Amino acid sequence: MKTLRSIAAVLILVAAGHRSASAQDPLPSWNDGAAKKAIVDFVQTTTTQGSPKFVPTEERIATFDQDGTLWVEHPVYSQLVYCLDRVPALVKAKPELADVEPFKTVLSGDREAIARLPEEDLLKIAVATLSGMSVDDFTTEVKKWSAGARDPRWKRPYTELTYLPMREVLTYLRANGYKTYIVTGGGQDFVRTYSERVYGIPPEQVVGTAGATTYGYDKDGRPFLTKDAKLILNDNNAGKAEGIHLMIGRRPHAAFGNTAGDQQMLEYTGAGDGVRLMMLVLHDDAKREYAYGPATGLPDTKVGAFSQALYDEAKKKGWTVISMQKDWKQIFSFEK
């Protein structure tokens, strides 16, 4: 048998050699430039056997913010749209909420009034629509909603609004032994319903804002988990570094973000030894996507707080800023 297997091994090596000689560009949607070079250099330096900066496979961890880094976050997070869309069903189940703010305003359908709701009202809506049900019922609802909901600008499911260049980075890193994680301020249970299908990232590699659950039994004695209003992890800002420690227990070698909410994740990544890759997506493409933050001089939007201060820190620390306009040939896979 040894001979047969040796022949097979040789043939595979020949095949692999041939394949890599004619290797395709791993990042075809990227223009040549500092950002693309930073990614390719990082992968080659950390995965080439004998490189002084070689990283063993088991330590290859890369973390990605979701909203604004892997898909569109502007003008509102899709999860907030979900929460607002759930209010009618919530009020149907609890009619006493119909005359209580902020539910009353949401029910009125007055878009301008809804857009003016302060942060604490949005939090009330989030808690009311994201807790109190079983984990299974919640998953079913989100999947149903995701299949039907459409972004108003592109008239497509939100799950199609992912950035093709970033999906190429995910694939490229994974092909080189990196475990890719989403580390999101969004709800962990929410993102897990589609992360595998949309990004190839399994639920156990999604770290997000998470509430407690409570174990109980239904009338047939079958156990189930109920989603509680109690917050376990606020996965924003310092919470991203804390969440990475809680859920992964290793410091990432690469981290990608786009707002001040990702600052600590990038700092924490950069504080490790050896070569680390820290990148920020700059939204400077008003035509193909959106422009906000320091690219515009406009005040930060509620969701896109890529502040001038963060931009300055990136420059000082050598983090690489990705210009959507200059670095990305194509933004969405549905273009052309």
Residues forming contacts to a second copy in the complex (CB under 8 A) are 1, 4-5, 7-8, 11-12, 14-15, 18-19, 58, 61, 135, 179, 188-189, 192, 196, 202-204, 206, 210, 212-215, 222-225, 232-233, 238, 241-242, 245-250, 264, 267-268, 271
Q: Which is nearer to a second copy, 189 or 284 (CB)?
A: 189
Q: What SS3 state is found at 62? A: strand
Q: How far is the CB of 203 from a second copy (least distance, A)?
A: 3
Measure the CA angle with vertex 246, ends 243 and 250; round to 5°: 95
Amino acid occupying residue 333:
S
Q: How far is the CB of 135 from a second copy (least distance, A)?
A: 6
Q: What SS3 state is found at 141? A: helix
Secondary structure letter of residue 187 according to DSSP: E
Place of tokens 């297997």: 5
Q: Which is nearer to a second copy, 209 or 258 (CB)?
A: 209
Q: How far is the CB of 126 from a second copy (least distance, A)?
A: 18
Q: How far apart are CA 182 and CA 166, in angstroms?
A: 12
Q: How far is the CB of 91 from a second copy (least distance, A)?
A: 28
The secondary structure element, H or E, covering residue 280 is strand 277-282
Place of tokens 């949005």: 122
Q: Which is nearer to a second copy, 143 or 250 (CB)?
A: 250
Q: How far is the CB of 61 from a second copy (least distance, A)?
A: 8
Q: How far is the CB of 256 from a second copy (least distance, A)?
A: 18
Q: Which is nearer to a second copy, 10 or 93 (CB)?
A: 10
Written as six digits, the tokens of 309 are: 């201060």
Q: Which is nearer to a second copy, 7 or 147 (CB)?
A: 7
Q: Which is nearer to a second copy, 105 or 234 (CB)?
A: 234
Angle subtended by helix axes 135-148 and 78-93, to nearest 10: 120
Neighbours of 326 (CB within 10 A): 13
